[in-house]
Amino acid sequence: MKAATQRQLVGILGLAGVAAVAFLFASPETVISELESLASRPVLFIFALSTLYLVRPFLLWPVSSIALVLGYLYGVELAMGLALAGAALTALPPYLIGRYAKTDIGLFGSLGSSGETVVDTVGEFRGVVAARFSPIPGDPISYAAGLSGVSLRPFLAGTVVGEIPWALIAVFTGASMRTLSLSEFAVSPELLLALTGISIIVLAGPIYNRIQTATTG
């Protein structure tokens, strides 16, 4: 058990190291500038956008930074569709890594077991939606969903629904900018608190029912 945990920690550190190196050598401003230059060439733009969404988890960039650019380039209507599709696409690599690493032993086994308990209590779709509404970073949620054995369809559906408020904020902010500036984007503490409250409300019913069943059973 201890050896398995050590191997898993080494794997986590290795993945974090790759992400840190990629972050140092891939400037968000440079990449976004290149993406912006392709806006008038739809085929190349979609290819570059899809590639960026797929590698984003390994660059340690928030997914909202790309949604911000989409809002700036295309306005709210088109950008929302692209941002939500991108949110589902960019969640796949960490989710699939989590599914591949799923095991019954070591640290991953403990995390997966805890996640399975939560999923059994609240359901796959509801659990993913609530987690996405919360201010928890998106990539750990995707890894945890994979380790917990969440099925692909509810994971993707829950991701799209749960990312709606975050995508709306980023897209509207980008659409309102006269000049693109990633540094200007920030989410207010009040909004974080409100979405955390919604997340708790989404989970409250199933958790209460589970407690009631446990105490009366």
Question: Do residues 65 and 137 touch, judged by C-beta distance below 8 A?
Answer: no
Q: Which residues contact 52 (CB under 8 A, 6 or more apart)?
A: 31, 35, 66
Mean pLDDT of the chain: 80
pLDDT band at 87 (very low <50, low <70, confident <90, very high): very high
Percentage of the chain surpassing pLDDT 90? 32
Q: Structure pTM?
A: 0.81
> For 41-78, how does the pLDDT look when each residue is reduced to its tens digit (9 = 90+)?
888 899 999 999 998 888 878 888 899 889 988 888 89
Q: What is the CA radius of gyration of the chain?
A: 19
> For 125-138, how does the pLDDT look when each residue is reduced to its tens digit (9 = 90+)?
999 999 999 888 89
Q: How many CB atoms lie within 10 A of CB 141?
A: 24
H-only helix segments in the chain: 2-25, 28-37, 42-55, 63-74, 76-101, 106-122, 124-133, 138-147, 152-162, 164-176, 189-216
Mean pLDDT of 187-201: 69
DSSP reduced 3-state for 60: coil
Q: Cα(43)–Cα(17) distance, rounded to whole angstroms?
A: 33
The answer to whether residue 179 scores a pLDDT higher than 80 is: no
pLDDT band at 151 (very low <50, low <70, confident <90, very high): very high
The answer to whether residue 3 scores a pLDDT higher than 70 is: no
Structural tokens at position 8: 């898993």
Look up residue 155 and give its amino acid.
Answer: F
The answer to whether residue 88 scores a pLDDT higher than 90 is: yes
Residue ranges of domains in the chain? 63-216
Q: How many CB atoms lie within 10 A of CB 100?
A: 10
Structural tokens at position 115: 């996640």
